A and B are shown apart, each in its own frame.
Chain A
Amino acid sequence: MTLHGRLLELNWSRRTLLLASGTLGVTLSNVDRVRAQEAKPTVTIGSKDFTEQILINEMVALLLEDAGYPVERKLNLGTSAIVHQALVSGEIDAYVEYTGTGLTAILGLPVESDPQAVYDTVTAAYEEQFGLTWLEPLGFNNTYALAMRQEQADELGIATISDLQAQANNLRFGGTQEFLTRPDGLPGLQETYDLEFAEERGMDPGIMYQALDEEQVDVISAFATDGRIPGLGLVTLEDDLGFFPPYFAAPVVREELLSEDPAIADVLNQLAGAIDDQTMANLNLQVDEGGQEPRDVARAFLDELATGGVGPATPEATPASE
């Protein structure tokens, strides 16, 4: 703080000095530049409590840091409702949310299947109800999916969720506690497909995959972009009745912050359309199975993105700090 004050003071005295000597134009622009850099607001980034969330919100944090913003990380906060609440109350300034989650779990609106319609609905409703802005989608759709062990699914001849109906009463279901209560989770699914499992157990998202792999449960609530699905030889069941809404990921930012510094939107929109389903699954796998740190994976991806080495990235997507 004192250092800041001194710097400003220093600039001020230099300015008056130079003013006297008559080189007004140069000095003012110099002062402005210093001021602008100092005035960059600290941005607090949150995330939910699973790999993909930590990973993409780490990307958001790194991008902002590259652009010269001081960033505070409050990652791994908990479920959607908790992180959303943190955003609404201003504890955090931004995190990446999924359109379908915003639609059903946060806004409590009925499920819709058209991705654009869902995006438009959440964008308008978030702005009106919470003063929050949805930026451009990153590209991937991390939909909920039911997953089974490939062998068992083949053995029982189950390929779609409808196929489950006749056999569900012999199968054990494991899901996150969030999935067990969300309207776009188990309650809605059971109603749409008329499912009754032998057992329904709630657990931590990380433990769920292990439980399925070790045959402690037979069906889990997986994420479509989870690298462990191919990694553990799992298969996802087709949502043949179209129950799950689309879950395209996009940064949600407090409007107040954006009006204070509109450039933040441009920084984060560098990620727009940059990550497809396959890319996201690969990145997740590097953390979940490869044992790499989310920050390292995020850094490597951003560097590749900057050099135009990955996916549908735009060539001009270089860190704004340069």
Chain B
Amino acid sequence: MRGDPLEFITYISEHEEQFLRLLGQHLQVTLLSVAIGIAIALPLAVVVVRVDRLAKPMTTLANVGQTIPSLAILGLMLPILGIGFLPTLFALTIRAILPIFLNAYVGIRGVDRAVVDAARGMGTSNSQLLLLVELPLASPVIFAGIQTATVQNIGIATLAAYIGGGGLGDLILQGLAMLDTSVLLAGAVPVALLAMVTEIILGRLRRVVVPRGLQIDIK
């Protein structure tokens, strides 16, 4: 309705301070949620792999959890966590845990039994087996889970705008509210770019972290 599509660049440069603040909020909550997600999901996956009877209920729970809409999590947490940063972080962390846990579980489970037996035969302790054999061998799949969680959360973080959590979603909702394309794109384009750039950076990082013999391109 209003505004030339490319005007969003002008909008960003005219509102630089606001834009950088929102971008900062967006990055902060996304990265923190993935970090907490890793801290919870990885150990959890390791435990579930070891304790077989937990496997079925936990993976089912994770799969079902994936289907709860993020907005519903935000709404449900309002009475407990209030508005703004905390409920946003909570919802995003839940969202991060699920893919990271599932990938880590599948990755570790998928390690060739023959390799594990060989390691056992060489007399490795439990922790050595985990750190030297299982995690490195599962790392491509684990890393793919982290990548999925991060890119996905960059998108979901826009929902914070509904509950006073700020972030680039503010611009998207304000643009939508006024049907002002330049404001809407000032929020939407950076979110898309952010997701792409993150994908690339994490792709590079994967090459550093994953052992050379296991380098495969996971798309």
Contact = CB atoms under 8 A, between A and B. Distances in A.
A79 B177 CA distance: 5
Contacts of B166: 201-202
Interface string B70-91: 0000000010001110000000
Nearest to B175: A181
A217 B163 CA distance: 12
A201 B179 contact: no
A312 interface: no
Nearest to B18: A200
A214 B83 CA distance: 9
Interface in B52-111: 78, 82-84
Interface in A173-210: 174, 176-178, 180-182, 201-204, 207, 210
A217 B166 CA distance: 14
Interface residues of B, number: 19
Contacts of B174: 177-178, 180-181, 202
Contacts of B161: 177, 202-203
Interface residues of A, number: 24
A178 B163 contact: no
A207 B79 CA distance: 10
A181 B180 CA distance: 10
A211 B83 contact: yes
Given A202-B170, A207-B162, A211-B164, A82 B82 contact: no
A203 B177 contact: no
Contact of B83 (A176, A181, A182, A207): A207
Name the 5 nearest CB pairs between A and B, nearest first.
Answer: A201-B164, A178-B177, A177-B173, A81-B179, A79-B177
Interface of B: 1, 78, 82-84, 161-164, 166, 170, 173-174, 176-180, 183
Given A105-B178, A182-B177, A217-B83, 10 more contacts: A82-B176, A82-B177, A177-B174, A202-B161, A202-B170, A202-B173, A210-B83, A211-B82, A211-B164, A216-B164
Interface of A: 78-82, 85, 105, 174, 176-178, 180-182, 201-204, 207, 210-211, 214, 216-217
16 contacts: A80-B177, A81-B1, A81-B177, A82-B179, A85-B1, A174-B164, A177-B170, A177-B174, A182-B178, A202-B174, A207-B83, A207-B162, A210-B78, A211-B164, A214-B82, A216-B84
